[in-house]
Amino acid sequence: MSIVNIPFYDLKSLNSKYIDSFSDSLKRVVASGIHMIGKETETFENSFSKYCGTKYCVGVGNGLDALTLSLRAYIEIGFMQDGDEVIVPANTYIASILAIEDSRLKPVLVEPDLRTYNIDPEKIKAAITDKTKAIMVVHLYGQSAEMDPIKRIALKYNLKIIEDAAQAHGAKYKNDTAGSLGDIGCFSFFPGKNLGALGDAGAVTTNDYEISMMVRSLRNYGEDNFESLSSRKYTNSFKGRNSRMDEIQAAFLSIKLEDLQSDTERKRECAEYYLKSIDNSKIILPYISDWSNPAWHLFVIRTIHREKLKEYLENLGIKTLIHYPIPPHKQKAFSELNHLSYPITEKIHNEVLSIPLYPLLSMTEKKFIVDALNNY
């Protein structure tokens, strides 16, 4: 096969079509004189809550803060306290667990289903204790977790469900959209996400008014909420943090949100082509449940020959990434968890490889990738 140059993700090309619109938005923000918690943020919050199917959306600084502030909100309203436990997938990015520990809560790791890579509902019950207060589900790679059994467990044991939807903008569970599947949805708008800003940004979605107002306060130093800058009192009832979505990122996100559905459909078409066309016994393809319509943040294959396959593809000019090479419980940062064993999680982290998948990938490029994988 000839050598090509297929990037893993082409952010430059994806954003280039928006340059004129971004420029207009930038001028509008500068002319307004308001750069934080203004009309642009409010407009995006309203649009994104509608997209997700929730009553409220609160823009924050990044996806990690969305998770942390959600947990902190439950602490401030008295539902949780220091030392309470949050069930979380062992197979996730480190941010899910960082948010729990940063909130002075205890993460309780649960193995995933090897087919879907998401938390296994059958294993959640065994992890519940009298200290358990929430289940943090992660819609990994853009495929929703299996929510119905998780909701039944949460209802039985009076637990909150917090969605880590950082990779799941537009993902569906049956007819409902990620961010509306639990009590709180937490999103990242890191540039490489399905809906990406030109810097850091995040959001919390919910149907709970009290929680939305608490997150709104905590994102702004715990200051009492105000209707407009003219009514601001500079009174602080809580110990919050500085985690506000700035007006420029909000304006950019509003523009890109208009194309999110069409971009997601193009990614779905690409994923369907891969699923139909890749045929190699050495490669395990993603498993798609009947109840799931993924947003396809990533297309993740699995093989025991990962390093050789990665080298083979890169020699052909096909860029790949590993999401993620080291599971959280084996990271140096979580030395207190290093002694734990989660065989399914460890197997996944040793074998997964992400191949290119983005809206602008041409059919020629997709066919080249498929042929390369089939010829491996």
pLDDT in tens, 179-191: 999 999 999 999 9
The residues pairing with 106 across neighbouring beta strands, listed in sequence order, are: 85
Q: How far apart (Å, rounded) are the C-alpha atoms in residues 264 and 195?
A: 9
Map 218-260 to HEC letters: HCECCECCCCCHHHCCCCECCCCCECECEHHHHHHHHHHHCCH
- Cα dist from 341 to 110, 122, 260, 324, 330, whole Å: 11, 18, 39, 17, 9
Q: Is the dihedral of CA 166, 167, 169, 174 positive or negative?
A: negative
Question: What is the CATH code of the structural domain delimited by 13-257?
Answer: 3.40.640.10
pLDDT of residue 1: 74
Residue 2 has pLDDT above 80, yes or no: no
Asked whether the beta carbons of 59 and 53 are under 8 A apart, the reply is: no
Mean pLDDT of the chain: 97
Asked whether the beta carbons of 143 and 171 are under 8 A apart, the reply is: yes
Q: Which residue has the tokens 């800003």?
A: 197
Q: Which H or E element spans position 123?
A: helix 121-124
pLDDT of residue 325: 96
pLDDT of residue 119: 98
Count, residues in the chain: 376
Q: How far apart (Å, rounded) are the C-alpha atoms in residues 67 and 97?
A: 10
- Cα dist from 251 to 23, 49, 117, 217, 367, whole Å: 10, 15, 34, 22, 36
Q: How far apart (Å, rounded) are the C-alpha atoms in residues 104 and 260?
A: 35
User: Whole-prediction pTM value?
Assistant: 0.96
Q: Which residue has the tokens 């306060």?
A: 217
Reported confidence tier of residue 232, pLDDT bands at 50, 70, 90 = confident
pLDDT in tens, 119-169: 999 999 999 999 999 999 999 999 999 999 999 999 999 999 999 999 999
Strand pairing report for 184-188 and 202-206: antiparallel
pLDDT of residue 46: 98
Average pLDDT, stretch 40-61? 98
Domain coordinates in residue numbering, the chain: 13-257, 259-374
The residues pairing with 161 across neighbouring beta strands, listed in sequence order, are: 135
pLDDT in tens, 283-329: 999 999 999 999 999 999 999 999 999 999 999 999 999 999 999 99
- Cα dist from 146 to 62, 175, 184, 248, 328, whole Å: 25, 13, 16, 36, 22
| Candidates 3.40.50.300, 3.90.1150.10, 3.10.20.740, 3.40.640.10; CATH matching 259-374 | 3.90.1150.10
Exposure string of 279-297, with b = 16+ CB inside 10 Å and e = fewer, is ebeebbbbebbeebbbbbb
